[in-house]
Structure 1
Amino acid sequence: MKKTLIMLLIITSFVNATSFSKSKKILTKKIYYDNQNTFYCNNPYKQQKVNKRYKTLIIPNDDFYTPRKKYYKSGKINTRAKRVEWEHVMPAYNFGRQLKCWQNGGRKACKKDKLFKKMEADMHNLVPAIGEVNANRSNYRYAAGSPKVGQYGKCMVQVDFKGKKAYVSDDIKGDIARIYFYMSERYNVKLSKRDIKMFKIWNKQDPISKWEKIKNKRVYKLQGNKNRFIN
């Protein structure tokens, strides 16, 4: 009994000590090291040395992804279309807005909030995404239906800016559903009836993949908890 209590305290303290920046490094080096493909577009990526520093950049290939905008309005190259970022599948806005710190000043006001930092750093909710797609998806909700291909070349994702919705390929819908159910249960984040119904359908239509199981085990070893919806 005493040993069990000690182990629980160790695991809890480790999870609470994790930061978003630390999680990103762990995901890159210890979890996704042998599965370097972006979540939405399946575009391969790799660590590359740029100006004496290593950066996670996509391997340009129009068979997977073509930038929606190659240049910023300023005329400079859209660097986010080249790099990989760690995206929150359930946006920070969704799980943060329930906290007082967010209500008092948004994400910046939650920087020192322990619970927010824990939610922000949770590796079960983080996936590698091309920076431009991550930026465009923003905190938009996922929508039923299939994406119209062309917005990002051959990438199976579509962002409806007016409707504030994102359409994704069928082969990651189950992943998204299981992540949302996990975040909702673990942090008491309320989901709408519409989302619950849609995610239940997605969960059935897109079965648990081999990679989901591998990631779940690796995150458990490093973070101390599992996504039971994958188990």
Structure 2
Amino acid sequence: MLTRAMTAALLLALSLSSYADTPSSFRQAKVWAKEYVYLDRNTSDYGTLYCGCQWRWTGESGGRIDLEGCGYEIRAQENRAKRIEWEHIMPAHSLGHQRQCWQEGGRRNCVSNDAVFNVMYVDLFNLTPVVGEFNADRSNYRFTQFPASAPYQHGACPSRVDFSQRAAEPRPEARGLVARTYMYMHDRYNLPMSRAQQQIMMAWDRQYPVTDWERVRHDRIAAVMGHENPFVTGAKTWSLGHTNSGEGLRHAGSSLSAKDSHSIDLPGPIHGNRNSKVYHLPTGCPSYNAMADRNRVEFSSEAEAIAAGYRKAGNCR
């Protein structure tokens, strides 16, 4: 059941629907997440996603964790354990590591130079406040489910990490939301998901249906960003071997500025290789004419190629 504060916040978010947009930066994404999504959640029983801790808001988007109240025990990083951090449920590494910008300079380079990465990076559906130390410990590890005997590392926090396996397990209350977020991100941005990870997410989606809070969170984010997560609303379901829509890439490509898309007069179309999903410019790319005709796809701009899921060839100057 919605509290009065939750209802008021939802109405506020809905009033912004005519301004629906993607945040322009990670800093803005955190501020919007605080002001329009989590503003009244810091003292709720649900708490932070993985550990269920409450917090006190500080600054424009920060917070101080009530460690004693949730029984969290500091493992190694005291400063980060005491604050909330905004985690990408699907890690930034997973969003960027297949893109050319990540190969050439990691997250910082992608944030500075890749407009498509930035659309994924600031997607509010993929952001949540968590205990900072757990965010660090979870890192970019895959999600899985551990045997009951597996140890807990953070006191009463009911989520676990296995550093040797590079794997993490969210608490039961978080698993459905995690699964439907993964499905959304992979589908919307045409990202590959391993068979094993698909099976885990499908199982969690079935076992942990959408909760009242997940629905409220979804509706608040949808009102701000102007689109929904179809795996929360039920408009889509995931089955093994799911075909991604790539809808977010098309949106990102259509909204790139002339500067971002390198929209200049070129002496010919851009050539994409349908097998490697790599594109070549008519100038500065030695392999522009090297691919077989049967593998060639032509694009009128880099934005169009990027929106179709292609990345620039590594040997382009």
Aligning the two structures, in what range does the TM-score lie when normalised by the shorter sequence? 0.7 to 0.9
**Which residue is 1:98 aligned to?**
98
> 1:141, 1:150 → 2: CA distance?
17
CA gap of 1:55–1:127, structure 2 versus 1, over 3 A, is closer
- Of the structure 1 ranges 148-157 and 195-204, higher mean CA displacement relative to structure 2 is found in 148-157
Return the letter of the residue paired with 1:116.
F
**Which residue is 1:160 aligned to?**
162
Residue 189 of structure 1: how far off its partner (Å): 0.7
**Which residue is 2:72 aligned to?**
65
> 1:186, 1:146 → 2: CA distance?
32
Preserved contact between residue 53 and residue 69 of structure 2 (Cα < 8 Å): no
CA deviations 1:55-88 (Å, max 9, x no partner) are: 411113154311112xx5xxxxx21010000100
**Which residue is 2:256 aligned to?**
none
**Which residue is 2:36 aligned to?**
30
> 2:70, 2:50 → 1: CA distance?
13
> 1:139, 1:119 → 2: CA distance?
16
Could you tell me the TM-score, scaled by structure 1's length?
0.85
Q: What are the equivalent positions in structure 2 for 1:194-205 lying under 5 Å apart?
A: 194-205=196-207
Superposition RMSD on alpha carbons, in Å? 2.0
**Bigger relative contact order, structure 1 or 2, given CA contacts below 8 A and separation 6+?**
1
Q: Secondary structure at the match of 1:190?
A: coil
> 1:91, 1:207 → 2: CA distance?
23
> 1:41, 1:123 → 2: CA distance?
20
Preserved contact between residue 62 and residue 154 of structure 1 (Cα < 8 Å): no
Preserved contact between residue 146 and residue 169 of structure 1 (Cα < 8 Å): no
Preserved contact between residue 143 and residue 167 of structure 1 (Cα < 8 Å): yes
- Does residue 226 in structure 1 map to residue 228 in structure 2? yes
Preserved contact between residue 89 and residue 181 of structure 2 (Cα < 8 Å): yes
Where does the alignment leave 5 or more consecutive residues of structure 1 unmatched?
A: 1-9, 73-77
Preserved contact between residue 31 and residue 61 of structure 2 (Cα < 8 Å): no
Return the letter of the residue paired with 2:136.
A
Q: What are the equivalent positions in structure 2 for 1:1-231 lying under 5 Å apart?
A: 11=20, 14-15=21-22, 18-36=24-42, 37-48=47-58, 55-61=62-68, 63-69=70-76, 78-112=78-112, 113-145=114-146, 148=150, 150-231=152-233
> 2:97, 2:152 → 1: CA distance?
33
Residue 97 of structure 1: how far off its partner (Å): 1.3
Identity of aligned residues (%): 35
Q: Secondary structure at the match of 1:34?
A: coil
Residue 95 of structure 1: how far off its partner (Å): 1.1
Q: Secondary structure at the match of 1:109?
A: helix
CA gap of 1:64–1:29, structure 2 versus 1, over 3 A, is farther
> 2:61, 2:180 → 1: CA distance?
32
Q: Secondary structure at the match of 2:52?
A: coil
CA gap of 1:62–1:68, structure 2 versus 1, over 3 A, is farther
Could you tell me the TM-score, scaled by structure 2's length?
0.63
CA deviations 1:25-56 (Å, max 9, x no partner) are: 1111221011122110100011147xxx8841
Residue 98 of structure 1: how far off its partner (Å): 2.1
- Of the structure 1 ranges 149-158 and 81-90, higher mean CA displacement relative to structure 2 is found in 149-158
CA gap of 1:64–1:223, structure 2 versus 1, over 3 A, is farther
Preserved contact between residue 36 and residue 221 of structure 2 (Cα < 8 Å): no
Residue 168 of structure 1: how far off its partner (Å): 2.0
> 2:213, 2:172 → 1: CA distance?
16
Q: Secondary structure at the match of 2:94?
A: helix
**Which residue is 1:7 aligned to?**
none
Preserved contact between residue 26 and residue 121 of structure 2 (Cα < 8 Å): yes
